[in-house]
Structure 1
Amino acid sequence: MEDIQFLISKWKQILQKLEKNNGKVRQIQIGKKATMQEIEAKEKVLGCQLPPSYKYIVHNIGKSLSFYYSFSEDTMIPSEFREIFSGEINWNIDFLQNLNIADELLEDEEDDGGTLRGKLEFSHAGNGDIYAFDMSVDSAEKPVIYWDHEEDTITYIADSFIDYLLRITELGCIGSEKWQFEYFLSDSGLDTASPAAVKWKQWFETFSETTLEDVKNNMEQLAAFVVYREKLDEETITLLQRFDRNELFQFLLKKLHKEGAFKDQKLICGMIGRVLGLYAETWVSSIWEDKPDHIDTRLRSYLTAMCTSKDKGLLLVFNFLESSNKKITGYEALSHLGDFHSRDVISWMENDVKFPVTEGWDELFLRSNFSWDDLKRWTSLEEKHEVTVIHALEKYVHEKSANNEFSYVISGLPSKSELIDFLVELRKRQVLKKRILPIENVIQNIDIFY
């Protein structure tokens, strides 16, 4: 058996690299080395011979071992490996168990677990999936397999325990869940020589944490940084505004066509809307005419709110929502109109709002810059309008309390005493506790409004 002590050194190097780049690291914990007597005793209990490489490792490294890391959120992992976020190895000789559960489940006429017959568990993933030896194979060494508890499927990982450790270490000890390492799977298990594995290893060897300072002077890297971090703040917007507008616009359009995930497209549209604004008006108008299938209608409405005049934009979105024969839901209205921040939206939604108002309508009322006149009018209409106001005021208090950047001031507010009187009368008209309590909370936090 080859000397495997170098593995510990390699694992420490990996953890040091992650720690240096602000990753979360749980250092290596190694148990005492297993004596041959302990190994033989374990085999007697299990009723089978343990694989030679497993015995060698617990005898020469330790009966147990564990370590873990996760990448910093500022580490820009290549998009094709976006499901990888951590790394882990663990085993413990005391946790070895024959998976007789398979027979028990079959006796109970359950389908799950039938694939586990003849398997010897030696570790498990964080999501509850199992690493095991396939003891049914007629050889001294036993292959390492992975059991997916949701799919009840077996995946071949490596020819032996030492083979598994060598392969996973070569890949940076990437996370134990299948969806993290499946990029590198082939019919013969983990393939460390595949094109994907070669690209991953090259990246892993040279990666470093990325900061805004690192990418601020490179337009493409800065845009990629925004998408990867899923964050577009004022500092980033200011940096993006330093680049040539047409060059930035053309780059973002190409990127929008390439990205398939809604959340990524939303961030790209966010850059177009918040950085370029009216500069993109002609293009935004064209996507209403051409109706490209690569842009979600919600994103089209967002771009319309950010890049066109409010009157023109609102009319387009109102007509779109009303063109459907189905009833408009609160969440749908919010997703298309919430970024306009216009009181005209409140007038429009007066005819469409319906119970439950907490499914988007109250949020839309809040985000549409309601005034004191709107509060008085809506509480004099139907019950659904009154309840919308109650929950919108509740949300207003919550936002003001939790977010220092929430600077919206309700226009036309009367004196504090008049507002309290208004709320007290509103509370008197309520029967349900779930409506009374929000009003009382607003009254208790009345200073937030002034």
Structure 2
Amino acid sequence: MPMQQRMEMWFQAWNSLMQDMERQGARVWPLIIDPPALLDEIEAREKSLGISFPPTIRKILQEGSRQVQINWSLPSRALDPFSLSGDLGWSLDAFEWPYFGVDEECEDDKRYLSFHVGGNGDMLLIDLSTDAEDPPVYSWGHETGEFLLLGKSFTEFVERVTELGCIGAESWNYEALACEDGLDVEGQVAQEWKEWLQAFRTLTLDEAVQDFEKLVVFAKMHGAEDERIQAAFAQYDWEQVLHVWVKHIEQETTSSNLLPWCQLIVKTVGKKAESWVLSLWESEHCERLGSSLRAYVTAVCLPEEEGLQRVIAEMDEVVARKECLLGYAANSHLHHFRAREVILWMEPHVAYPIEGWDDLFAVSRPQWLDLIRWLDGNEAQRQIALSAWGKMLANGESPAGEADWQEIHRLLDVAYEKAILRKEKERVDRIRSALETTMY
């Protein structure tokens, strides 16, 4: 097949892929397919490298495109069993002799020519040692230093990686799909991935609402933030829906996927999942999700007072064991409640570092009385209150109730005078500046 015709087919496949991914809610970057390179541009690059490009590479640059870039990533809420993303490209200017991380000259330094670098530093390389018109392609992992054959020729690599949705260019994207002949597009993993990707590209909500199994697949791919998805699940018995999600949680082997499963329960079952959440507090089930995720579903699915009492009691146990309670941990367990009672509980427990504590204060619906009390408290409380107030102002939020502005400005003056670090003074200055432009 003539190279120009082959590349037109690639261009069509890439355009179709990116249009589908964008329509289905994936994050996509602008598809770059530049015009062909001029002959004198190619020769100038060859001269700077001290080589002549293999004939097929030269033909692709001269008859196809001097630069191609394809990037996509799935939404964070997508339960993708493969965790792959899209990254394929080349550029006339990107052809470089690779550096493999050794100071002395390496025998591979002039064997391989890099044509694309992944976001983590892994490289896609053509192997010049074969003197082939269409050279093999390898991936090089910057952490392992290992070379992985991706295609016995450049065109074979592009054909196969295009069939796989332009996955790459970090080595881990290819590992489960590589064999001794390069990327395997017919094996079990490849077939499962291609089926999953095809479903993601084509399955619509209108189609999914007609069939429960398809609706489950759609929600696994897109989450259930959309009210239309929630309404579609409301057509079915909530116990049936909960059973599906709980079964997936029990079978899940990747800890990072547990949050999306919990989010699906929260959005499609909500407070009807109360009994299941209570079971998580029983000793034989308490370790499955971990305490932070258990706190999340507790905040949403149990009555607020009961849920908050359970999580605060858990935090008190940490303190009673004389373990260090950091703000990050407290925030991860309590911020979902968005309850002022959390601020009252925090007060005797906060300490440096303030990170996490300030976020928790800001989302816990503070009143002006709380802010004044903390500004007039110990040093950690004051800095937490100032940081939290700054976060609220940045979000267009303010404490509830009536503000005693005379006392607030006095406390800001005191905070500035007592500030030792520059960042502490800057924190006060940012609040003063924001107040000058805020109507209160």
TM-score w.r.t. the length of structure 2 is 0.79
C-alpha contact (below 8 Å) 1:305/1:314 kept by paired residues: yes
Q: What is the CA-CA distance between 1:259 and the residue it aligns to?
A: 3.4
Task: Compare 64-73 and 341-350 and name the one that shifted more.
Answer: 64-73
Residue in 1 aligned with 2:263?
A: 270
Identity, % of aligned positions = 27
Task: Compare 224-233 and 294-303 and name the one that shifted more.
Answer: 224-233
Residue in 2 aligned with 1:319?
A: 313
Q: What is the CA-CA distance between 1:395 and the residue it aligns to?
A: 2.3
C-alpha contact (below 8 Å) 1:53/1:160 kept by paired residues: no
Q: Does 1:362 align with 2:363?
A: no
Residue in 1 aligned with 2:422?
A: none
For 1:327 and 1:142, the matched residues in 2 are separated by 57
Q: Give SS of 2:84's match.
A: coil
Residue in 1 aligned with 2:34?
A: 29
Q: Does 1:426 align with 2:426?
A: no
Q: What is the CA-CA distance between 1:55 and the residue it aligns to?
A: 5.8
Residue in 2 aligned with 1:179?
A: 172
C-alpha contact (below 8 Å) 1:29/1:65 kept by paired residues: yes
Aligned counterparts, 1:101-250, within 5 A = 105-106=103-104, 114=106, 116-121=108-113, 123-127=115-119, 128-137=121-130, 142-201=135-194, 208=201, 212-222=205-215, 224-229=217-222, 232=225, 234=227, 236-250=229-243
Residue in 2 aligned with 1:111?
A: none
Distance verdict in 2 for CA 1:234–1:44, change over 3 Å: closer
Stretches of structure 1 that go unaligned for 5 or more consecutive residues are: 108-113, 402-407
For 1:46 and 1:383, the matched residues in 2 are separated by 61
Which of 340, 343, 347 lines up with 1:343 in the alignment? 340
Distance verdict in 2 for CA 1:162–1:382, change over 3 Å: closer
Residue in 1 aligned with 2:9?
A: 10
For 2:314 and 2:194, the matched residues in 1 are separated by 49
C-alpha contact (below 8 Å) 1:91/1:123 kept by paired residues: yes
Once the two structures are superposed, residues 164-208 of structure 1 have per-residue CA deviations (whole angstroms, 9 ceiling, x without a partner) of 344334445444443333332112322232222334445666763
C-alpha contact (below 8 Å) 2:249/2:258 kept by paired residues: yes
The aligned length equals 421
Task: Compare 435-444 and 421-430 and name the one that shifted more.
Answer: 435-444
Q: What is the CA-CA distance between 1:332 and the residue it aligns to?
A: 0.8
Distance verdict in 2 for CA 1:199–1:240, change over 3 Å: closer
For 2:72 and 2:100, the matched residues in 1 are separated by 36
C-alpha RMSD over aligned residues: 3.8
Distance verdict in 2 for CA 1:217–1:205, change over 3 Å: closer
Distance verdict in 2 for CA 1:320–1:378, change over 3 Å: same
Distance verdict in 2 for CA 1:252–1:115, change over 3 Å: farther
Partner letter of residue 349 of structure 2?
D
Residue in 2 aligned with 1:84?
A: 85
Q: What is the CA-CA distance between 1:349 and the residue it aligns to?
A: 1.3
Q: What is the CA-CA distance between 1:382 and the residue it aligns to?
A: 2.5
Partner letter of residue 121 of structure 1?
L
C-alpha contact (below 8 Å) 1:119/1:136 kept by paired residues: yes
C-alpha contact (below 8 Å) 1:126/1:177 kept by paired residues: yes
For 1:300 and 1:18, the matched residues in 2 are separated by 38
Aligned counterparts, 1:327-338, within 5 A = 327-338=324-335
Residue in 2 aligned with 1:383?
A: 379
Q: What is the CA-CA distance between 1:380 and the residue it aligns to?
A: 4.1
Q: Give SS of 1:400's match.
A: coil
For 1:19 and 1:42, the matched residues in 2 are separated by 30
Which of 236, 247, 257 lines up with 2:250 in the alignment? 257
Stretches of structure 2 that go unaligned for 5 or more consecutive residues are: 23-27, 420-424
Distance verdict in 2 for CA 1:330–1:154, change over 3 Å: same
